[in-house]
Amino acid sequence: MKLVVSLAVAAALTCAGAARAAVPAGQPVDGIRCDQMEGSVLHIHQHLAIYDHGKPVTVPDDVGRPLVAQCFYWLHTHTPDGIIHVESPNFKTFNLGNFFDVWGQPLTKTNVAGAQTKKNERIAVWVDGNRYAGNPRAIELTQHLDVTIEVGPPYAKPGPFTAWNGN
């Protein structure tokens, strides 16, 4: 009897784990599908740099490219250099919040991809070298947009990103 119960519990846990793994892997996020091929109607690139109290936070490769589903979200990365690829099958406006949602990371006033403010600290956002005072989730992703988010001090103005390498 113990063996039967143990096998049933193991099967239930395995199925629950499989279901959890499948939910973020290929399901639409913010209306953004995960297709078998990259879209070709809208193809633009942006750069995102995140600093946690002066230390860089890596925007990893393969964001938006789940191995389980073997597909490409319209917003994704290929390399860990912070370059975001927007490759959509139709013309649509995307924003930084969409990218963070596809990434599965928070983008709030106190938490940026796990980098969190401490008491009396803030998040500083720079867009193309200029301070941005609005909600960073609303930043529209346009060609060669350069976004830097600094969590906690120092809040130094970033230099321009120039390593587009043909992107």
pLDDT tens column, 1-59: 443 333 333 333 333 333 222 335 789 999 999 999 999 999 999 999 999 999 999 99
Tokens linked to 94:
């995307």
For 54-87, b/e burial (b = at least 16 CB within 10 A) is eeebebeeebbbbeeeebbbbbbbbeebbbbbbb
Q: Which of 4, 94, 1, 12 is nearest to 48 (CA)?
A: 94
Cβ contact 167:76 at 8 Å: no
pTM: 0.84
